[in-house]
Amino acid sequence: MMRLISRAGGRRAGMAATGLAALGLAALMPAASAAQLSQEHDINDALLEIAVANEIRKECDSIGARIFVALERMRALRDEARRRGYSEAEIDAYVEDKTEKRRMRERRNEYIRAQGAEPDHGPSLCILGQTEIAKQSRIGALLKAR
């Protein structure tokens, strides 16, 4: 019986040592920063899709947002950023950064113009929104005709 207890205790000690070693390695790894989030192309592309859909929704009275779909996509992006090592504070700092907001608006406007529409121009954005919905694109999935 004593032998079983000491083996079990030894296993626990071994697992604890392994856990401490993993924590030590994690401490040596460089932490992700909010600035690095701008280099996460897939996350930023998804944010662009949300920004385009939001602009269409705001400027076009005949198109609304699929709010729950958009919220779920945003939650999934936040979860993915956390999985990649970004903290909540880093994610929030990135999302609220004025320079990053300006860059995203520029990217959004470039996309809209590349599709033959104009930012802040309801009629052309309605056509773009209807096209995105009809294509069943990732942007169109965030929108619904009213």
Mean pLDDT of 104-108: 97
In terms of pLDDT, which residue wins out, 71 or 20? 71
Q: What is the pLDDT of residues 36-54, one digit of tens each?
A: 999 999 999 999 999 999 9
Residue 132 predicted with pLDDT over 80: yes
The pLDDT score that the predictor gives to residue 23 is 37
Q: What is the pTM of this model?
A: 0.76
Q: 78 falls in which pLDDT band (50, 70, 90)?
A: very high
Q: For the chain, what is the HEC assignment?
A: CHHHHHHHHHHHHHHHHHHHHHHHHHHHCCCCCHHHHCCCHHHHHHHHHHHHHHHHHHHCCCEEECHHHHHHHHHHHHHHHHHCCCCHHHHHHHHHCHHHHHHHHHHHHHHHHHCCCCCCCHHHHHHHHHHHHHHCCCCHHHEEEC
